[in-house]
Amino acid sequence: MSPLLILNLSVALAACFLLYRMQAAHASFTRRVFTGLGLGVLLGAAFQLLYGTASPVITETNAYLDIIGTGYVSLLKMIIMPLIMVSIISAILKLRDASSLGKISALTVGILITTTIVAAGIGIAMAKLFGLTAVGLTATAAEVARGEYMQGNLAAAQGISLPSMILSFIPANPFLDMTGARKTSTIAVVIFSIFIGISATGIAKKMPEIFDSFGHFIKVAHVIVMRMVTLVLRLTPFGVFAMMTMVVAGSKPDDIAKLISFVAASYSALILMFCVHLLLISAVGLNPVRFVKKIFPVLAFAFSSRTSAGSIPMSVQTQTTRLGTPEGIANFAASFGSTIGQNGCAGIYPAMLAVMIAPTVGIDPWTMSFIVPLLAIIAVGSVGVAGVGGGATFAALIVLSSLDLPVALAGLLISIEPLIDMGRTALNVSGSITAGTVTSRVMGQTDVAVFNSDAELNLDSDEQVA
């Protein structure tokens, strides 16, 4: 271990110790997450300035920081399936009303897909405003390799249709889906949990003793799982710090500068779509500023981790304890939102790519004969996009191949992919939380007192289990 590596790790440990001291001093969770984010940016920039992007020292340092960053994300993924199962089953046992369950599901999914179409429209508008085009771009060796990778996955994307997507949601082997083995495992577990909950409510009158015993078991399991969620979420500031340090230290300013127009257009579209989310929140009679303050820690984690699925536990916790959304709706929105209707990855990104690449094959992307089919394909293709890193690539493959556009050209954006993916993921999570909040409000189930409360998300109390 070189002296420089030891020095880097010592500074990183000092930053982690500062975050620990803030936790011991009962600093607010939001403040700790924001501090972790800021420390990560500063330390990553310092590493970039001192060593340069391609330095072996940065590579070695990031390998150790990855233990914290990826380790934290892995812990979050560990609790996703148990959280979904016990929360949805528990909600159905309390609900005992299949019609309400259907309304909640339809409204949540409808909002997710509708907002994705709106996001695609905004992406198209920003591409036009910034004059984006793939004509004339040159490819480096890395970009060629990425293009070949996308070309190699083209067959899988072309084989996807709406019926096959819907069929993939059915949990033929729920135990396999509990391992997260498939792209649609999360929704498959949701459906399996719904079947368990409905089956249990079906014996409530015929076999009340068995129903009560099962209900007690689910209640115990729910308390234990939520306690586990609380313990893992306490590590969020440390995870955010490590991941932001790695991202900033490993970014290449020269590559970003070459495609600065695409970066600017992408983030302009992301910001505009986030404003659409706030308009929806305002439209149902809730304070959008308060909404932003309450969901900031979730967005900060999603931004730095680039995983929508990994954000599910924190999203559910925030919706239930800070936004006043019932647990069942919160779980539906977070779970469906990690694979359906991702506003950033499945909406803005493939739309911008399509209008950029179309001119390279002589197609005018600004005609309604191109835009209308594009929006329709995005709406269908947004169903079943994986909620982990790489989901945007798969969504782009579906859209580009459906329009018969050269998918390999999307590899030209490889150098700025991580930078934009952070914003896309944060928007995905914002969209799922918005869907849950709006659905809850429309169904008349939002606890407005909780939403209007200024209480922080308290993960430090040993008595808290939810």
Tens digits of per-residue pLDDT, 322-381?
Answer: 999 998 899 888 888 887 888 988 899 889 989 988 888 888 899 999 999 999 888 877
Radius of gyration over alpha carbons of the chain, in Å?
22
Closest by CA position to 189, among listed 179, 204, 201, 200: 179
pTM summary value:
0.76
Using alpha carbons, list the distances in angstroms from residue 101 to 60, 159, 214: 50, 32, 20
User: How crowded is the C-beta side of 172, counted as CA atoms within 13 Å?
Assistant: 6
pLDDT tens, position by position, 160-197? 566 776 787 888 888 888 887 777 787 788 889 889 98
Q: What is the pLDDT of residue 299?
A: 93
Mean pLDDT of 437-444: 94
Q: What is the pLDDT of residue 147?
A: 56
Whether the per-residue pLDDT at 118 is higher than 70: the answer is: yes
pLDDT tens, position by position, 42-85? 999 899 888 887 788 988 999 999 999 889 888 888 888 888 88
Structure tokens at 210: 């068995």
Q: What is the pLDDT of residue 133?
A: 80
Question: In angstroms, rounded to a whole number, what is the distance separating the alpha carbons of residues 346 and 336?
Answer: 13
Closest by CA position to 410, among listed 150, 155, 130: 150
Amino acid identity for residue 230 in this structure? T
Question: In angstroms, rounded to a whole number, what is the distance separating the alpha carbons of residues 117 and 379?
Answer: 6
Number of alpha helices (DSSP H) and beta strands (DSSP E) in the chain:
21, 0
